[in-house]
Structure 1
Amino acid sequence: MQSDQDAEPQIDVTENRHAATFGVGIGFIVFDSIIIALRIYARTFTLRALGTDDILMIIGAILNFGLSITIMIGSKYGIGKHALAISASDTVPMLKCIWVTRLLYTASMGFVKMSLLWFYLRLDPRKYMRWAVFFVMFFNVGLSLASFIGALAGCSPPSLFWTDPTAEGCMPMAPQQRFYEVNGILNIVTDILTYLLPVPMLYGLQLGWRKKGAILGIFGLGILSIAAACVRYSFVKKLSSAEEEYYLLLADSLNWCTIEAYVAIFCGCAPSLSVLIKTYAPAVFGSSNVTSAKSPSASYFMQRQRTPLKSNRRLGQGDITLGSQDAIVTGGVPDQGPDQDGIVMKTDIQMDVSSAKSAEDVTYKREYYEFTKRA
């Protein structure tokens, strides 16, 4: 007779990932909602330059919020549970949630990366850099469409996915597994390309090395997004050999899907948030002399005027009287009128001109607006 020590260990069917799923979902939804709201405020009211990249980022964030909500709903029915703990009545709604998560993840990451890439088009007007961005855009759109269509075509009609996934109309599990493994590798490649692009671009910007380092640090956070994609891929690999623990590992994989997207959203919003910090918390950057338009402590506010700004002219102390302006940068050519090609800039600057550091604050905002408005 075999001893109790030789007996197979008992499977704990009560194990689940509910706490992790709701913690990641709710925590990041709240955090990124605040980040997105601050970005919209900065771009709409401070910079007054809401652009295509902002719209793409908002769409991507909404889709990722939907992904988190779908995962949390699915956890009620079986995502994050042991297979033996899932009842027959919960199987169909759980599989529906899994099918939706595949579509939402692909779409959300596609929009978030396109927002970052669209933003890059403003950074560097050099032709070869723009072509590099267009190439990564093409790669990202192609991968997103292929992944989206692959998820839709996994079962034909799609309802077979949650009614009879083993029917002839559905792709067998082995090819599906290989498809998502290859997709995971290509997704990591896209992430790496996306976060490496700003590095050569910064060398062409008229920014100090300190500010270039700060910007690189912001996009360096993209390493966290790449790391999340790698962790997610490791769980995708484990799914190929999982049986009873399949939906436990699936919950981990889906959680890392959302983390990857949320980190990417934060990286994309960080440049817009920096101008809010400089405006409302200037001490963070070592300055305390920028004043709000509504602040009574300002000596006086500069009047709004429309003046052409020549790109080959450095900002001097005499330019402190320039306040809010619309200008056309014509690449070093003197005034050519509003119909000529150039870079449209809109700045809103309020400051205490009696301060010796005002020129530095103006320079910071000028550099930032040039950084965000290049097209």
Structure 2
Amino acid sequence: MFLRPGMVVWVAGIILTSLSTIVVALRYYCRYFLMGTVGATDHLMLTALLITWGNTVINYYQDQTSSSFRPSQFRIPEKRPKIAAALQGTLLTWYMYRITYIIGLCFVKLSILFFYRAIASHITFRRMVYATITFISLYTFAATIANIFQCQNPSDSWSTSAYFSQFDGPGPSKTPKPKVRCNNPVQLWVFSAAVNLFTDVVILLLPIPTLLGLRVPMNKRLALVGIFSVGIMAIVASCVRMWVMALWSESPANSAHFGADLLLWGQVETNSGIISASVPFLRMIFRGREKEPSEKNRGISPPRRPVDTNNKPLEISSMAFFSGPDVGPNGSPIWKPFITVPASLSSSSRDSAALEAQHPHQTV
């Protein structure tokens, strides 16, 4: 049975996002019923999950619209009216995806950083957390605005007449070419992928020096480092997506060939971040099952937690995370008009290669 690459993307998206939903639901259960506290870090992760579900729906419509035509039909004026509706749907869904993908990753990272903020009392660590939050927020805002205004008039981004005009020859045309002003977005997307990878690494490494400096037994320090290092899953996915992005941006043929892979690894990256950042909170489920029988067998009540009479911020060296409740374009430098559209997610590389030979400015 043959599955279109685009179908693989949204099916995998449904599976991964469903798994993320289960993990986030268990996270809320542990935080509310077992830890007794739900904070901004949890709500930010829930927002990221909802945006990821939105991306999955967008992936579905990207596949449905792009599978209704082949890139070779763009050069046949008689075919254009028949595929215009599907093409516009493809243009529009990709326009939406570029924006929501960046925002979704932002909320995942902010959730992790807000958790760091809740347990940070060392002034240097706290300042670094605030600086990272500020950088990611400003970068996401700037990248979102840049994607929204890829074309001076945003609606030109999904204009079929503007897109078809790229495939008309230099001679006279039956229909006048629309005047659009659009920027080359490839540099922005490659830069965004690099920044995403960089911030993933920063977030992973940020708490390590503080954790290694705790005055606790080495086994507990290493356990804490292991808990915080589960985010390496997201970094691996981000590295693979960065590699696919590099291949995707080399040529129009590569853009058509690797478009589905780019979407797929985007799903893996986002869901890996959600799951890896939420799994550490699920330890309370197993912790409670292990401790309760032993305490009953001994006939003693759980020890009472000391009260902080000075109302000082929680020290990470107090092992609060273990204790629970207090865890707070190709050959030419000018691309115009440039409208970005992915080739059909189910199209063959032969169609794409034929386009590249005659029209080097078409990109996906």
- TM-score band (shorter)? 0.7 to 0.9
CA distance in 2, matches of 1:56, 1:238: 32
CA root-mean-square deviation = 3.1
Question: Match of 1:341?
Answer: 311
Q: Does the 8 Å CA contact 2:120/2:314 hold for their aligned counterparts?
A: no
- For residue 182 of structure 2, what is the amino acid of its counterpart? M
CA distance in 1, matches of 2:270, 2:100: 11
> 1:144-181 CA distances to partner (integer Å, 9 max, x unpaired)?
11111111111233221111356654423xx3111211
Question: Match of 2:327?
Answer: 372
Deviates more, 1:205-214 or 1:127-136: 205-214
Q: Does the 8 Å CA contact 2:45/2:111 hold for their aligned counterparts?
A: yes
CA distance in 2, matches of 1:84, 1:23: 27
CA distance in 1, matches of 2:69, 2:297: 60
Question: Match of 2:87?
Answer: 91
Question: Match of 1:34?
Answer: 22
Question: Match of 1:16?
Answer: 4
TM-score computed with the length of structure 2 as normaliser: 0.73
Selected match of 1:265 from 274, 282, 294: 274
CA distance in 2, matches of 1:122, 1:212: 19
Confirm whether residue 277 of structure 1 aligns to residue 265 of structure 2: no
- For residue 229 of structure 1, what is the amino acid of its counterpart? S
TM-score computed with the length of structure 1 as normaliser: 0.71
- For residue 223 of structure 2, what is the amino acid of its counterpart? A
Q: Does the 8 Å CA contact 1:124/1:130 hold for their aligned counterparts?
A: yes
CA distance in 2, matches of 1:85, 1:215: 57
**C-alpha deviation, 1:141, in angstroms:** 1.1
Aligned counterparts, 1:1-375, within 5 A: 16-78=4-66, 83-84=71-72, 87-163=83-159, 164-165=162-163, 168-172=179-183, 175-205=184-214, 207-244=216-253, 246-280=255-289, 282=290, 289=293, 302=301, 320=302, 322=304, 328-329=307-308, 335=309, 341-343=311-313, 367-369=322-324, 372-373=327-328
Higher relative CO (Cα under 8 Å, sequence separation at least 6) belongs to 2
CA distance in 2, matches of 1:153, 1:44: 41
CA distance in 1, matches of 2:314, 2:240: 42
- For residue 137 of structure 2, what is the amino acid of its counterpart? V
CA distance in 1, matches of 2:325, 2:138: 31
- Counting helix residues as a fraction of each chain, which structure ranks higher? 2
**C-alpha deviation, 1:19, in angstroms:** 4.1
Q: Does the 8 Å CA contact 1:123/1:205 hold for their aligned counterparts?
A: no
CA distance in 1, matches of 2:273, 2:103: 14
Question: Match of 1:353?
Answer: none
**C-alpha deviation, 1:365, in angstroms:** 8.2
CA distance in 1, matches of 2:61, 2:217: 48
What SS does the aligned partner of 1:221 have? helix
Identity across matched positions, percent = 22
**C-alpha deviation, 1:77, in angstroms:** 1.1
CA distance in 2, matches of 1:151, 1:81: 25
- For residue 269 of structure 2, what is the amino acid of its counterpart? E
Aligned residues: 302
> 1:326-373 CA distances to partner (integer Å, 9 max, x unpaired)?
x642xxxxx4xxxx532479xxxxxxxxxxxxxxxxx99884327723
Deviates more, 1:61-70 or 1:244-253: 244-253
**C-alpha deviation, 1:186, in angstroms:** 1.5
What SS does the aligned partner of 2:133 have? helix
**C-alpha deviation, 1:85, in angstroms:** 7.8
CA distance in 2, matches of 1:169, 1:248: 27
- For residue 194 of structure 1, what is the amino acid of its counterpart? I
Q: In the superposition, relative to structure 1, how do residues 215 and 261 fare at CA in structure 2: closer, same or farther (>3 Å)?
A: farther
Gaps of 5+ in 2: 75-82, 167-177, 329-364
Deviates more, 1:239-248 or 1:49-58: 239-248
Q: In the superposition, relative to structure 1, how do residues 290 and 248 fare at CA in structure 2: closer, same or farther (>3 Å)?
A: farther
- For residue 47 of structure 1, what is the amino acid of its counterpart? M
Deviates more, 1:217-226 or 1:205-214: 205-214
